[in-house]
């Protein structure tokens, strides 16, 4: 599958999800972790890359439910905050623009 510019831009970045006690702080493992929400994704359909947060492997695992180190609702909230932080960074770098 071809990666988008926003997916590629996640490489080597600081984790923006930052789950306390979970985040490994390893920018070498950072990927774009898509926030899944009803109406924006489904079977065979990923959310738009603007609905993604730069997440280290440990935070990504928690957000996707692969690890049980944090309550699912807390992980979703921290993931959403990470999406907003990621968007703010992309805007400050001129990669995306607010309307």
Residues labelled as active-site residues: 34
Local structure of residue 51 (DSSP, 8 states):
G
Helices then strands, each counted (H, E), the chain: 3, 2
Helices assigned H by DSSP within the chain: 5-9, 57-63, 72-92
CA angle 78/62/97 to nearest 5° reads 45
């Amino acid at each position: 599958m071809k990666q988008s510019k926003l997916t590629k831009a996640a490489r080597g970045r600081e984790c923006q999800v930052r789950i306390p006690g979970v985040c490994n702080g390893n920018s070498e493992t950072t990927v774009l972790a898509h926030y899944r929400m009803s109406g924006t994704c489904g079977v065979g359909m990923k959310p738009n890359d603007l609905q993604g947060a730069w997440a280290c492997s440990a935070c990504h695992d928690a957000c996707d439910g692969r690890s049980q180190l944090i309550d699912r609702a807390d992980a979703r909230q921290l993931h959403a905050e990470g999406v907003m932080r990621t968007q703010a960074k992309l805007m400050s770098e001129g990669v995306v623009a607010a309307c």
